[in-house]
A and B are shown apart, each in its own frame.
Chain A
Amino acid sequence: MNRRQFLKSMAVAVAGTAITSKLKVTAAESLVQDGISAELPDLVAVRNGEPIAMFRKGIEALGGMQSFVKPEQKVIIKPNISFDSAPERAANTNPELVGEVVRQALAAGAKEVLVFDHTLSDWKTTYKVSGTQEAVEQAGGKMILADEKKFYINQKNVKALKLQETDVFKPLLEADVFINLPILKHHGGAKMSCAIKNLMGNVWDRRIMHRSDLNQCIAEMLFYTKPTLNIIDAYRIMIANGPRGVSTDDVRLTKYMIISTDIVAADVAATKIIGYELDEVPYIKIAENLGFGKSDITKLNIARLEA
């Protein structure tokens, strides 16, 4: 199948969307069954499976981990592990998933795989209680500390409007591959926390971002750290009291996962899963205007897979 054929079938899919959503699904599924792998999808959505199974299925559709991680490369993974709460509370990225990503990165030949987050709760308890430390170490990766200013180096960017300088986590700048591994959740300040919002954990001073137009600053984080790949954990999502959550009552089991290199598109897909309008999450539009991706996902090649 060449590009023209593919575009043709894409047009069918889009037409299908216009008629009914039911038809849309069938069209998309038929696309998958046709095996459109001649060109890799822009965004992969997987659903109805356990986190590890969904990830395996999804990354396969993107040509496997080896298309992102080359042998002897240094890989850094940034899950969202902000709070000292258990996986069921869905405040942190699913530890099993983090472990699996580490494993696959190592299998693809990575020299070393580092995992970190600039935690909001005490780092020691957070790494432990979230289950991430155990999962990462079992998978052969390394959890590194990000709780002191000495681990960050000052970076400047004149293109930014508000965030013209910030201290960025040093190992992240030194890594060859940066995998962004957020969890989708409600957020009090930014409405939604997902792929772009997760980048706030890459810098030392987040206070200044809150002080000077939060949405603009979140989008401008992309000037400093741009992920190679975004994997969104939407297995369990927090729909209220985010980003920390009060109890498991705030959590819904959705069993979705989104994988994309386009961080803006990934976040737009996330808004659909959690059920927000794009306007409610202003930083996505800002990031698009800054040229970091496309927010109109109907124009993208999306692979929808059942795990």
Chain B
Amino acid sequence: MKNKYRLIIVAAATISFLLSVSAFVFDQSWLTKGWLKLQIVPNLTKIFASFESLSIASFSTLEAAVNNLTLILAQDVGVAVNILLVMLLLAFCCGRFYCSVLCPLGILQDIIDFFSSHIRAKENRQARGSSKVVFKTPLNLKKTRYCILAVAFITLLGGWVVVWKALDPYSNFGKIVLNGANWARLLDTGISWTGLFFLLALIVLVVWKRRIFCTAICPAGTLLGLCSKNGMLKLGISEKCSACGRCAKVCPAKCINLSSKAIDNERCLRCLKCLGMCPNLKFLGIFKKQFNPKIEARFIASRRSFIWGGMLTLTGIVLGRLFNPEKQMQACYKAAKSVPCLTPTKIEKAAYFIAPPGAGSPERFLAKCTACQLCVAHCVGQVLKPAGCGTKNKFSGDNSSIHLDFKNGHCNYNCNRCGAVCSTGAIRQLDLAQKKRWRIGMANITYDLCVTITDGTECGACAEQCPTGALQMIAGTNGARMPQLNAELCIGCGSCEEACPVLPERAIIVKPISIQVLADDPQEFFKKQRSGSEERNKSKEWLL
């Protein structure tokens, strides 16, 4: 490769891509808690997720559960703000290097582009064959990307990450990696198809217009573009340019306009493929302007596009304000004015899947999670399942989000990994002592199915696994001891559901709850119960 700048970019991008992939496959905290923290969107959503602590705290019923969390969250948010500011500052100083070196989805597109290049090579040969080379002014699609960014921010202000969930490059990369890792059998979390669909769409886009996703759709890219638009260090073309078009041909962002001899630094992804091809194309000095800064572009600034943009923005406001699942939940609690998790009718009405510990509630999780699947990849008990995956039970009909499934595993008692790896703020990090009392669901025994009732034989598989002692075997009606649930101690970890030998429908299953709260402290509970128990080693006589 002649272009030494490009060589550096390719080397850095390769290392970066491998690190990002391995963060999903290997259990290394410097990857999950370090490397991936450089991604823009998770930091952004985390900052916005911190706003909620203000609104939730105003609900007296949730205070007990949430108070401790806001402090933990505050520390993390500081880091997120700093990282985000540094990234935006870097974009201002030298352009969107993030898109070429750090963004895993951007690098993935470059890889796809590399393989699809022979298709274009054919096109180029045909173009060379013709006598006159005509370079069309590339599409700018300014309105499209600004509208997407506007809707994304407005919904985010309303507390809903929906646009970011769909278009965030990092989260979509995560979906693709998780699906890939599952197929390669590096991970075993169950197959979901979202990653594959996104990958197919991405391949179509790349083959069609190379990195058009980054320049026209990606909200993070648009944000960085706004910073680099009038940045310090720009790429530019000198007046001597003969418009041979070699640079425009290699540019995957299509940001070189040969008719005006200008480079759109807003869209330039800093892949540096063009650099070194021609002495007329180079980095200008600090704050030097291009000789012709006017970027003529083929976008139609008509009334129609204005109305279209306005409609989109309005939709964003409506979606963010009215249909945000979390807002609906808060309205529900305002009406209930009590902790709803202990009233069974409320459970069945409001909650429909089990959210990871620290998510707050299923609704909040739906509103905050961008579905990057990092928690799914790192779940020790392998109970966190991607959306649309896993078997349904009669209580959790909906699994349109990342959710817990206790059919083949349980939420590990000594583990708070999902909260630790989550960089979007959707799963708040609980310390281990808190996590051990953090109720995410509620066990429910169907005695008509239980072995101790139907067969009259001893079982106790559920009580055996219960980490909090919520399940105890008591004298039964049918000769064998039967399980009894102390709801105050149950944290809904699913150990009992996993262990229950009654199949296919288990005699004990964990029902989702509408809000996560702290359960009673089991140590305190049993201490009270067993204050006067005797020491067994007091006597000098042999016990046998």
Contact = CB atoms under 8 A, between A and B. Distances in A.
Interface of A: 21-22, 24-25, 28, 45, 47, 84-85, 120-122, 124-125, 129, 187-190, 206-216, 237, 239-241, 243-247, 249-250, 252-256, 258, 269, 272-273, 275, 282, 297, 302, 304
B455 to A, nearest CB: 7
Most A C-beta atoms less than 10 A away, residue of B415, B499, B535, B537:
B537
Contact of B501 (A207, A237, A240, A258): A207
A215 B457 contact: yes
Contact of B536 (A125, A249, A254): A254
Contacts of B527: 247, 249
7 closest A-B pairs by beta carbon, nearest first, are A189-B460, A188-B463, A211-B501, A272-B544, A247-B523, A210-B501, A210-B461
Contacts of A25: 540-542
B464 interface: yes
Interface in B472-489: 472-473, 481
A125 B415 contact: yes
Given A125-B412, A212-B457, A302-B544, A247 B526 contact: yes
Nearest to A240: B530
A299 B544 CA distance: 13
Contacts of A258: 544
B467 interface: yes
Given A22-B541, A246-B523, A249-B526, A189 B467 contact: no
Nearest to A188: B463
Given A241-B526, A253-B537, A121 B458 contact: no
Contacts of B544: 45, 258, 269, 272-273, 297, 302
B542 A208 contact: no
A244 B465 contact: yes
A45 to B, nearest CB: 6
24 contacts: A21-B541, A21-B542, A121-B414, A122-B412, A125-B380, A187-B464, A188-B463, A188-B464, A207-B499, A210-B451, A210-B499, A211-B451, A213-B458, A214-B457, A214-B458, A215-B458, A244-B466, A246-B467, A247-B523, A247-B527, A252-B536, A254-B536, A256-B543, A282-B458
A198 B472 CA distance: 21
Nearest to A270: B544
A188 to B, nearest CB: 3
A241 B465 CA distance: 10
Nearest to B523: A247
Contacts of A269: 544
B413 A121 contact: yes
A237 B530 CA distance: 16
Contacts of A28: 542
A134 to B, nearest CB: 17
Interface residues of B, number: 42
Contacts of A246: 467-469, 522-523, 526
Interface in B496-544: 499, 501-503, 522-523, 526-527, 530, 533, 535-537, 540-544
Given A188-B471, A239-B533, A214 B459 contact: yes
B526 A189 contact: no
A250 B457 contact: no
A189 B542 contact: no
Contacts of A241: 469, 472, 526
B381 interface: yes
Given A210-B499, A272-B544, 15 more contacts: A25-B541, A122-B412, A122-B415, A124-B380, A188-B466, A189-B458, A189-B481, A211-B502, A237-B536, A240-B530, A241-B469, A245-B469, A247-B526, A249-B527, A252-B535
A108 B99 CA distance: 64
Contacts of A124: 380
A22 B540 CA distance: 9
B543 to A, nearest CB: 5
B543 A249 contact: no
A188 B473 contact: yes
A208 B541 CA distance: 41
B276 to A, nearest CB: 50
Contacts of B533: 239
A29 B527 CA distance: 38
A209 B464 CA distance: 14
A80 to B, nearest CB: 12
Contacts of A45: 542, 544
A280 B143 CA distance: 77
B542 A24 contact: yes
